[in-house]
A and B are shown apart, each in its own frame.
Chain A
Amino acid sequence: MSDITASSKAPGLPEEWREPLIWLAILCTITALFLPLAFLAGDDGIAKPLRSPSGLCVMLIAGAIASVRFQSWLGDLLLFLSSHLTAGILLFMVPAYSGAAGWGFWLLLISSWLLAWQLVSRLSAHRLEGRLQTLLDLAIPIIFGLWLLLLWEMVVVGAGVPFVLLPPPSQIGARIAESLPLLWADFQQTFLLGVLPGYVIGCSAGFVVAVLVDKVPFLQRGLLPVGNMASALPIIGVAPIMVMWFGFGPGSKIAVVVIMIFFPMLVNTVAGFAAAGNMEKDLMRTYAASYWQTLLKLRLPNAMPFIFNALKINSTLALIGAIVAEFFGSPTVGMGFRISTEFGRLNTDLVWATIAVAALAGSTFYGLIALIERRITFWHPSARG
Chain B
Amino acid sequence: MTEPSLKEPDSSEKSVIQIDDLSLTFETNDGPVHALSHIDLSIAEGEFVSLIGPSGCGKTTLLRVIADLERATGGTISVNGVSPEEARLHRAYGYVFQAAALYPWRTIDRNIALPLEIMGLSKKEQNSRIAKNLDLVNLTGFEKKFPWQLSGGMQQRASIARALAVEPHLLLMDEPFGALDEIVRDHLNEQLLKLWAKTNKTVVFVTHSIPEAVFLSSKIVVMSPRPGRVHDVIDCGLPRDRTLDVRETPQFLEIAHRVREGLKAGHSYDD
Contact = CB atoms under 8 A, between A and B. Distances in A.
A126 interface: no
Contact of B118 (A277, A287, A377): A287
Contact of A287 (B98, B105, B115): B115
B93 A298 contact: no
Contact of A282 (B69, B104, B117, B148): B69
A384 B88 contact: no
B95 A279 contact: no
Nearest to A283: B101
A284 B68 CA distance: 12
A379 B166 CA distance: 26
Contacts of A380: 104
B146 A285 contact: no
A377 B117 CA distance: 22
A261 B69 CA distance: 39
A301 interface: yes
Given A285-B88, A289-B118, A384-B148, A379 B97 contact: no
B88 A286 contact: yes
A272 to B, nearest CB: 13
A380 B97 CA distance: 21
Interface in B181-195: none
A283 B95 contact: yes
B114 interface: yes
B14 interface: no
Interface string A274-309: 000101101111111100010001100110100000
Nearest to B120: A293
Chain B contact patch, size range: 20 to 34
A104 to B, nearest CB: 61
B67 A379 contact: no
B121 to A, nearest CB: 12
A286 B118 contact: no
Contacts of A377: 105
Interface in B144-171: 146, 148, 166
B119 interface: yes
Q: Which 8 A-B pairs have the closest CB atoms?
A: A379-B104, A379-B105, A286-B95, A279-B101, A287-B115, A288-B89, A287-B118, A289-B118
A287 B95 CA distance: 9
B118 A279 contact: no
Contacts of A282: 69, 95, 97
Contacts of A289: 118
12 contacts: A277-B101, A279-B99, A282-B97, A285-B68, A285-B69, A286-B93, A288-B89, A297-B118, A301-B105, A379-B104, A379-B148, A381-B148
Given A287-B119, A297-B114, A297-B117, A280 B101 contact: yes
A279 B91 CA distance: 17
Contacts of B105: 301, 304, 377-379
Contacts of A384: 148
B103 interface: yes
A376 to B, nearest CB: 8
Interface of B: 67-69, 88-91, 93-95, 97-99, 101, 103-105, 114-115, 117-119, 146, 148, 166
A301 B105 CA distance: 8
A301 B69 contact: no
A305 to B, nearest CB: 10
Given A289-B118, A297-B114, A380-B104, A279 B97 contact: yes
A53 to B, nearest CB: 62
Contacts of B99: 279
A287 B166 contact: yes
Nearest to A380: B104
A279 B176 CA distance: 13
Q: Give the residue among A283, A284, A302, A304 with the most B Cβ atoms within 10 A.
A: A283
B86 to A, nearest CB: 10
A286 B64 CA distance: 10
Nearest to A284: B118
Contacts of A379: 104-105, 146, 148
Given A282-B95, A297-B117, A298-B103, 20 more contacts: A280-B103, A283-B95, A285-B68, A285-B69, A285-B88, A286-B88, A286-B94, A286-B95, A287-B91, A287-B115, A287-B118, A287-B166, A288-B88, A288-B118, A293-B118, A304-B105, A378-B105, A379-B105, A379-B146, A381-B148
Contacts of B115: 287
Q: Give the residue among B68, B91, B115 with the most A Cβ atoms within 10 A.
A: B115
A283 B97 contact: yes
Contacts of B148: 379, 381, 384
A319 B75 CA distance: 62
A293 B114 CA distance: 10
Contacts of A302: 103
A380 B98 CA distance: 21
Contacts of A381: 148
Contacts of B119: 287
A315 to B, nearest CB: 23
Nearest to B99: A279
Nearest to A377: B105
A283 B68 CA distance: 12
Contacts of B95: 282-283, 286
A288 B67 CA distance: 11
Contacts of B146: 379
A206 to B, nearest CB: 22
A290 to B, nearest CB: 8
Contacts of A288: 88-91, 118
Contacts of A301: 103, 105
Contacts of A286: 67, 69, 88, 93-95
Interface in A360-385: 377-381, 384
A299 to B, nearest CB: 11
